[in-house]
A and B are shown apart, each in its own frame.
Chain A
């Protein structure tokens, strides 16, 4: 163990105040409706599209993204095969990723994307466009309830994604499509 480690821990022990209580966390309830989720997602630059059923996914994707050439998805049989070993040059050319989200958060339009859904960790951000497929019954109201859905932790890598990549670093002008996905659609079934 490094001497620095021991020094920092000793200094923390010597400096920290008398122990105070760690508060329990209330749930706060809230609105977990699809209407709320859709409204908030629209306000942050994302969109919601309804799938008649999961079987209609391929047709809807073709309709929404007619120009997408290289599509990555664990849900589409015709998709380009991608896994954690896929070279960067291939990832760089992905036009569209269609990935299954675990659940959505109505208060902020975020969708939880666990590592198992990503094919490659870079896929959700390297793709030009992102579609997240979500069961409309899998909505929670707030982030409290969202983290309660992860009793075994967040996994090796996990992301909440709320809308498309954005920036306002030039004069506070909102620009969609900074480095990550230029657009985000949540496909609900």
Chain B
């Protein structure tokens, strides 16, 4: 079975030059907002180090903290479930909904349920599932996956949203004002909130000592959905744990500043006990995480708090769009999580990077993202998932760069060849992918080696 490459999938996105530039600039603007928020906190780098240490420690005692969390949650009257994979998770959710004879489900943003493809499962069983985060609702109406961790509809323009709302919510044709479009969504979704029978949420943090789950939103959709519906189901990956309530002091200071440049999310909700007469279910999901935990080079990826800072800063993500990654989590972090799930399918993602290291620099929990990208490349090559041209090219370059004589000769040939070859050949799309949207530089007359040899020797 063959898969489209990252570059292949990005082709459609980069076709619209204006939109690509807008996407690039908008995400860079978010990165700049992040910088302003970060520089305003003198101890920010210490917070990153603390967060990294807390997450490292938690992962090193994960079995202990999972059991501690479960015991505390059970004592709080929470019903705790365990799911090894997506199918088990989806079945659990469906079973709980069915136990209540419910059909109307309101859902706040959860990358885990995206990962498990929960919505199609519930829809196939005749349930109404409404994504209530504005961006999520927009893409749900358009039947698209999210293209960013915290800005799921960042690939769309207001004209696209206006057209979608006109078709599905009956707004006036040509309406593009974000304020009015948001108001239309508020009215539409309020009816859904009020009628909701089961509320689904993700989990930003789970506190082992108190058994609480913490959900952070700006819109208030998680809290509105949960507090009105009789049943709340919160889905969490096993890596969401923090040992102590106090640890939230570190993570709530990092999350929103890194994500959008806000000092904190508007709502930071702590769910510890169900309201009287209501139910709170927590589903703890593995789905490949213990396997990743067992990979020493890659386990640090489990420290991720899903802020999206790495994608906002990534020169490749900003210019290729989230859909080009074809994985629940796009961008640099997705490119180190996805090979663990399916190395062959996602084999081009570790190469969708310049290895500039900007992702690592902004990561609030200090994941060595670009180092892991490099290491996944080695595994992709070892598993023989490189395209033939790339494999042969890299082998050839490896030999060439290892031999000074061959390097010298090839340099001479290339400088002469590039001057003599017609442009159509040196920039041929098939032969030189690098030159598809770029001009090669003017070849120099002389190599550095030749120039150096001509210099007078320094006087001793």
> Could you tell me which A residues sit within 8 Å of B by CB distance?
2, 4-5, 7-23, 25-26, 28, 40, 44, 84, 88-89, 91-92, 105, 107-110, 120-122, 124-126, 142-148, 150, 153-173, 175, 177-181
Contact = CB atoms under 8 A, between A and B. Distances in A.
Interface of B: 26, 29-30, 41, 43, 46, 50, 53-54, 56-63, 66-67, 70, 76, 81-84, 88, 132-135, 138, 151-154, 156-158, 161, 178-179, 181-183, 185-186, 189-190, 193-194, 210, 212, 218-221, 223-224, 226-228, 238, 243, 245-250, 252-253, 260, 262-276, 284, 286, 290-291, 293-294, 296, 299
A187 B56 CA distance: 42
B158 A171 contact: yes
Nearest to A91: B228
A25 B249 contact: yes
B286 A15 contact: no
Secondary structure call for the A interface: loop
A124 B88 CA distance: 35
A9 B67 contact: yes
- Residue of A155, A159, A168 contacting most chain B CB atoms (<10 Å): A168
Contacts of A153: 210, 212, 245, 272
Given A28-B43, A177-B186, A171 B286 contact: no
Contacts of B138: 169-170
A8 B258 CA distance: 31
A168 B83 contact: no
6 contacts: A88-B228, A162-B264, A167-B219, A168-B151, A175-B179, A179-B186
Contact of A8 (B185, B189, B238, B246): B238
A15 B134 contact: no
A144 B266 contact: no
B62 A179 contact: no
A110 B186 CA distance: 23
A111 B428 CA distance: 61
Given A4-B82, A19-B60, 5 more contacts: A14-B290, A121-B275, A153-B210, A167-B219, A169-B133
Contact of B246 (A25, A89, A92, A178): A25
B257 to A, nearest CB: 9
Contacts of B30: 172
Given A121-B275, A160-B264, A180-B267, A165 B26 contact: no
Nearest to A15: B294
B313 to A, nearest CB: 16
A139 B154 CA distance: 36
- Residue of A15, A125, A168, A181 contacting most chain B CB atoms (<10 Å): A125
A142 B63 CA distance: 31
Q: Which 8 A-B residue pairs are closest in the complex by CB-CB distance? A: A180-B220, A15-B294, A169-B135, A122-B227, A108-B263, A178-B219, A11-B290, A156-B273
Nearest to B224: A125
A12 to B, nearest CB: 4
A171 B273 CA distance: 37
A20 B229 CA distance: 41
A87 B264 CA distance: 32
A21 to B, nearest CB: 6
A147 B207 CA distance: 13
B84 A7 contact: yes
A125 B29 CA distance: 30
A121 B274 CA distance: 10
A15 B161 contact: no
Contacts of B296: 17
Given A8-B286, A22-B243, A162 B265 contact: yes
Contacts of B210: 153-154
A172 B294 contact: no
A180 B224 contact: yes
B198 to A, nearest CB: 14
Contact of B189 (A110, A156, A179): A179
Contacts of A142: 249, 253
A170 to B, nearest CB: 4
B59 A2 contact: no
Contact of B275 (A145, A147, A157): A157
Contacts of A26: 46
Contacts of A172: 26, 29-30, 151, 154
A125 B220 CA distance: 6
A126 B247 CA distance: 29
B238 A163 contact: no
B228 A165 contact: no
Contacts of A25: 50, 246-247, 249-250
A8 B290 CA distance: 7
A178 B60 contact: no
